[in-house]
A and B are shown apart, each in its own frame.
Chain A
Amino acid sequence: MRPFSENPEAKWLPARHNLAAFRLLAAIVLTLQRKRPRRPAVDLRTAYVLDRHQSALENFTLALLFNTFITVYVGAWLQSGFGLPPARLFWLSPLLFVMAPAVYQLLFHPLGLLLAVLVRSGRVRTTQVVRVQTWTFYLLMNGFALVALRAGSWVRWAGMVWLALLTANAAAAVVMLALSPFVKSLEERMGGGSFDVSYWDSAA
């Protein structure tokens, strides 16, 4: 079983975030929160699981970003490939935004089929599939950004923003590396033990 923590501050543990930028943000919020401790509600206890994909803030922010980037790239492709006028593209953009998840599905189904064959032959485990899909998706987004940079039209700004975000994340990773002893001590203090022990002993 994955470890749990019943400490209310554990919500902002960096270990509950995946990307370095969000881990850094969590570490900052956690440090600020510890100065103003809150009392938990009466008859309501929370057990936080320590899982790197647990953060709602991170996942919803990334979902919004990915959807926006895909919308922009598809818009630019429609404009350059089919000569769509900017005014029409502007009015089409909400529809493109809603349909962007369909574009993503075009990417993951073929790869999923290939991975299903590999899972069946025993070369890949089912739990590794999502990791391969994630890395492929990030690589594709990087590729799209590089193509956009070379395009020369307004879409190069999207490529620049993507690369700026990548750079910011890399900088956050360096900071987190420097902060790692501090973060580790925080995590040990809050996240140690299993759900069974930490939660129920204090609830009693």
Chain B
Amino acid sequence: VSRPARWWQRFLVRGVFWRQLLRWAVVNTPHPIEPLLMGFACVFFFFWGPGRRAILRNLAAILPGSTVPGNLLRTGRLYWNFAWTIADNVRFNEDRTIPDWEFCGLRAFEELQSGSEGSIMLTAHMGSYDLGAQLFSERSRRRVTVVRAPEPDLDTQAFELRAAERAASQSVKIDFNTRSSALTFDLLEALQRGDVVAIQGDRVTPGIGAFRTTLFGKPADVPAGPFALAMATGAPIYPVFVIRMGRRRYRLLSCPPIRCQRTSRDREKDFADAAAAWTSILEQTIRDYWYQWYTFEDLAAKETAA
């Protein structure tokens, strides 16, 4: 995480300017004009070469046998969803506009929201996880700590944190995963208190402990933190995904919990079993909702980075 050294760096892809522009557009755009601007934003995103190429490569792995022209069209659909998702998020932060909700896997979700023991909500970069956390906190009496991947730009991170604080209720705490060791103790304490910790489990940022597993037949890394926390506290891991189904319509997909417990002397094996259970659910969900997986980095790049 770094502060831009030069004024023009705020205009880079991950610079704060684009977040400010998005907020400006959302605050000023009449609702019926929104679809026009979303289409416009898709065309704009399309010119972002590294992101587009990474999506194309990921789609080729997710959907074996898919063609390049077909995947180019799919990239457009993914950008369309991404534009709507980030706009919905800002709209919620600014005037608390709430979407329609579909609930799939009610039993697991009800168990999660009514339980008293600490639990881990493991999710992916799909749909709007901020909206999901907010919905959960409004429904449940349990406190939620959302752990987010740090923004590469310090100004962008500060901007996002301010926006989240404006919107968040008392029962939602947002924490950026920048101070690994201190955060671990905070999360352990939260779980022991009976809180819910929400973590993204499909992407590893530099400096964060990773566990090697396979995703779509390729070696890939998932964060080791959720599994280590689950093993240390005995907390169940609930895979939960928030998926955009249409204009202001989201689906909350909850899966039965994964347990990561010591069953033998081989700690690595127990870890691997839990990680494999998670990646199997993740793979299935990404296959079903490939147009929602907002990962603009190459799976193969993860392999070389590891």
How many residues in A have their beta carbons less than 8 Å from beta carbons of B?
46
The reply on B296 being an interface residue by CB < 8 A is no
The reply on B224 being an interface residue by CB < 8 A is no
**B88 smallest CB distance to A (angstroms):** 12
Q: Contact between A108 and B29 (Cβ–Cβ < 8 Å)?
A: yes
How many residues in B have their beta carbons less than 8 Å from beta carbons of A?
35
The reply on B225 being an interface residue by CB < 8 A is no
Closest residue of A by beta carbon distance from B246: A56
Contact segment of B33-41, B146-154, B260-268, B287-295: B33-41
A1→B24 CA distance, assembly (Å): 24
Query: Would you give the 0/1 interface string for B32-51, flagging 1 where the beta carbon is closer than 8 Å to chain A?
Result: 11111101100100000000
Q: Contact between B106 and A49 (Cβ–Cβ < 8 Å)?
A: no
The reply on A167 being an interface residue by CB < 8 A is no
Closest residue of A by beta carbon distance from B106: A203
Q: Contact between B40 and A102 (Cβ–Cβ < 8 Å)?
A: yes
**A30 smallest CB distance to B (angstroms):** 16
Chain B contact residues, majority secondary structure? helix
Q: Contact between B29 and A130 (Cβ–Cβ < 8 Å)?
A: yes
The reply on B98 being an interface residue by CB < 8 A is yes
The reply on B12 being an interface residue by CB < 8 A is no
User: Assuming the A-B contacts A43-B105, A46-B101, are A63 and B29 also in contact, with contact meaning beta carbons closer than 8 angstroms in the complex?
Assistant: no
Q: Contact between B34 and A63 (Cβ–Cβ < 8 Å)?
A: yes
Q: Contact between A101 and B37 (Cβ–Cβ < 8 Å)?
A: yes
Residues on B with C-beta less than 8 A from A49 are: 98-101, 248
Query: Would you give the 0/1 interface string for A37-54, flagging 1 where the beta carbon is closer than 8 Å to chain B?
Result: 000000111111101011
**B289 smallest CB distance to A (angstroms):** 15
Kindly identify, within residues 92 to 114 of chain B, every residue whose CB is under 8 Å from any CB belonging to chain A: 94-106, 110
The reply on B139 being an interface residue by CB < 8 A is yes
**B244 smallest CB distance to A (angstroms):** 12
Q: What residues of chain B have their CB less than 8 Å away from a CB belonging to chain A?
A: 24, 27-37, 39-40, 43, 94-106, 110, 138-139, 246-249
**A-B pairs with beta carbons under 8 Å apart, 24 shown:** A43-B104, A45-B106, A46-B100, A47-B101, A47-B102, A49-B99, A49-B101, A53-B31, A53-B97, A59-B35, A59-B247, A63-B32, A63-B34, A66-B33, A108-B33, A112-B27, A115-B28, A126-B94, A127-B95, A130-B28, A130-B30, A134-B32, A195-B138, A196-B139
